[in-house]
A and B are shown apart, each in its own frame.
Chain A
Amino acid sequence: MKARIAIFLVLGVAVILLPLIAPPVMNNMILRVGSLVMLAISWNLAANAGLISLGHSAFWGLGSYAALLVANKLGWPFFASLIPAMIVGAISAAAIAVITGRLKGIFFAISMLALSECLRVIAVMTPGFTGGGAGVFIDQALRPSTQTVAMVTAFCAVACGFIAYWISLTPFHYACRAMRNNESAAEMLGINPLRFRIAVLSLSGAMASLAGGVNIWYSGFLDPMIGFDLHVTILAQIAPILGGIHTLAGPIIGAFATIGLSEATRILLGEQGVSLLVYGLILVFSILYMPKGIVGTWNTWVQYRSRGAASAKVGTTKAAPL
């Protein structure tokens, strides 16, 4: 166990320091993968508790706007601005957890979809506050170097990974699994579903908002279409599904795979619509033929192989008396 943690730590530090040695063009890639890792872990956390979000762009957008607004209106610098971003994400997630109450599955999914659209309309309609549909630039004087943003993204992604890992070691993890499978049974075990829902979603919301908050410092420009882009929602769910839902490594592997696929289609086919089409097809394909994702399929395969070997052994011992 300790050795494992040590390996994770070393890997984590290496990832965080990567922007220092990688060529500057890599910063963009680190940023995209890092953000998606955060989003995917965040989405997977909620999904672990049986909450399927079809509106993660809501948290992303809230985080982006929170960071941008405290920078532009209050002059907060990069690092400080990430704190309100997380807080806004956590609070709004807690609110949606309370609002959706006992509604699971479909209703939660639709509520999230609606929330994200609702926030987009609000952002468009309050130009005095958010810059409205025309969008707004973040204060250029406050912007850190791209390298710094990339490093922070890497750090945050690693931190999210650690949090997810830590949760997987606590009873919290089992409570989530119980809730996902059967909420009333979980309740009988003494789990308070609402409290857990609030806790899980706040954490999930904070992570997604943090990703949004970091990203605004990289892109420098925000409008409601970028902030509450459906694209973010789609990426947030595709990465864990492709990698392996309800697993620890799944969202991370999925994030790399998704960005890889998106780059490959961009280079090979060029058009933007094509990559979205590919995302759609990945979703359909994964759900139908690989519902456990890359990680789950790999595990099954390994198990199958070891079991195949084991049963072969049993076969020989059985055959011996004959």
Chain B
Amino acid sequence: MSLFWQCLVDSLLLGGLYSLMSIGLSLGFGVTRIINFAHGEMIMFGAYGAYFGSVLLGVDPLLSLPLVAILVAVTAAVVFKALIEKVLDAPHINQILLLFGISLALQNVAAILWTGDARSVSTPYSLTAFEFETLLVPHGRVIAFATAVVLIVALFCWLRFSELGRATRAVAENGQAATLMGINVSRMYMLSFGINAALGAATGAISAFLLTITPFMGFHMLIKAFAIVVLGGLGSVTGTILGAFALAFAETWVSYYVPEGNGWAEGVAFVVLLCVLIIRPKGILGQAVAVH
């Protein structure tokens, strides 16, 4: 029974992190209709930012998070303007390969700058935990979860109530009509790509004290984020959160209840992804996507 509760708590906490990890990808796609294959690298840069903030300046990852997120977002917006904007009307193949190329280049820039060595950040809350009888809840994970929730709620409020948030939703629904409203669509694209990057970097900053940091950490997170976004329905931000928790539950259950589950859990995302594509390619809440 205690295993059950431990599993439940773990999946909830992981679900929060997964939501943050994939929500930017979902938003970015919803607005620009471009899948950001470099999303994983934004997470990676966020993690390195937090790492260097912690190691060189002694700043806690949570404190360096806003600055790191803004830096990565600005860089991403520049990359968008300089490179990605040119393929907005190009065939999908060009978009996919361009983003894939950017991702590859960023990964290896990091590998050259900072070597392939695995790193980790230790914080006062890295190794401590709440204990309720047999239940063990690490502080780090709780803090990560709380941060994710705060950021996601902030994103939702921004989308729901701010002028630019509303404009973002309008652009996602109908770019031409948005232009008629006086909305600068290409700037909104840049903005949403920047937010996508900022959320990715924030995920990275949080994972800095949960996971090991390597230049190639982004790739695995990217595939998981894909699985989540496809599961929730491409472009649906609410669906993405459902997808994140679904994947977190599935992975945690496999790692607890299947023999050698830790290794198999790594594959859950792919199985989920393939299953969704077979059974319901729209995802949980998505609209029709088969066209593209």
Direct A–B contact in the complex, CB atoms closer than 8 angstroms? yes
Show the binding face of A for B, using Cβ within 8 Å: 47, 52, 54, 99-107, 109-111, 113-115, 117-118, 121-122, 124-125, 230, 234, 237, 241, 245, 271, 273-274, 276-277, 279-284, 287-288, 291
Q: A103-B281, A104-B290, A287-B97 are in contact. List 13 more A-B contacts (CB 8 A).
A: A47-B93, A52-B96, A106-B96, A114-B227, A117-B223, A117-B267, A121-B264, A245-B93, A281-B101, A283-B100, A287-B98, A288-B83, A291-B90
A233 to B73, CA, bound (A): 29
**A-B interface pairs (CB < 8 A), number:** 133
Which residue in chain B gives the minimum CB-CB distance to A113?
B223
A104 to chain B: which residues have CB within 8 Å? 92, 290, 292
Show the binding face of B for A, using Cβ within 8 Å: 35, 83, 86-87, 90, 92-94, 96-98, 100-109, 111-112, 116, 219-220, 223, 226-227, 230, 260, 263-264, 266-267, 269-271, 273-274, 277-278, 281, 289-290, 292
| B260 adjacent to A271 (CB under 8 Å) | no
With A114-B270, A121-B264 known as contacts, the answer to whether A109 contacts B96 (CB < 8 A) is yes
A230 to B289, CA, bound (A): 27
Q: List 16 A-B contacts (CB under 8 A).
A: A54-B100, A99-B277, A106-B92, A111-B274, A113-B223, A114-B273, A115-B274, A125-B260, A277-B104, A280-B105, A281-B101, A283-B100, A283-B105, A284-B101, A284-B102, A287-B87
B87 to chain A: which residues have CB within 8 Å? 287-288
**Shortest Cβ distance from B228 into chain A, in angstroms?**
12
With A118-B267, A121-B270 known as contacts, the answer to whether A281 contacts B105 (CB < 8 A) is yes
| A125 adjacent to B263 (CB under 8 Å) | yes
| B266 adjacent to A121 (CB under 8 Å) | yes
A125 to chain B: which residues have CB within 8 Å? 260, 263-264, 267
A81 to B264, CA, bound (A): 29
Please classify the interface of chain B as helix (H, G, I), strand (E, B), loop, or mixed, using the class held by over half of its residues. Answer: helix
| A102 adjacent to B263 (CB under 8 Å) | no
With A271-B112, A277-B112 known as contacts, the answer to whether A282 contacts B101 (CB < 8 A) is yes
| A113 adjacent to B263 (CB under 8 Å) | no
With A106-B35, A107-B281, A287-B97 known as contacts, the answer to whether A118 contacts B270 (CB < 8 A) is yes
| B108 adjacent to A277 (CB under 8 Å) | yes
A122 to B266, CA, bound (A): 10
B270 to chain A: which residues have CB within 8 Å? 114-115, 117-118, 121
**Shortest Cβ distance from A134 into chain B, in angstroms?**
13
| B263 adjacent to A121 (CB under 8 Å) | yes
| B93 adjacent to A124 (CB under 8 Å) | no
| B96 adjacent to A280 (CB under 8 Å) | no
A107 to B292, CA, bound (A): 8
A287 to chain B: which residues have CB within 8 Å? 87, 94, 97-98, 101
| A283 adjacent to B104 (CB under 8 Å) | yes
Which residue in chain A gives the minimum CB-CB distance to B38?
A280
A234 to B102, CA, bound (A): 12
Q: Which 10 A-B pairs have the closest CB atoms?
A: A283-B101, A280-B105, A280-B104, A121-B267, A118-B270, A277-B108, A105-B92, A273-B111, A284-B101, A114-B270
B102 to chain A: which residues have CB within 8 Å? 280, 284
A118 to chain B: which residues have CB within 8 Å? 267, 270-271, 274
| A99 adjacent to B267 (CB under 8 Å) | no
| B107 adjacent to A280 (CB under 8 Å) | yes
**Shortest Cβ distance from A12 into chain B, in angstroms?**
30
Which residue in chain B gives the minimum CB-CB distance to A291?
B94
**Shortest Cβ distance from A239 into chain B, in angstroms?**
12
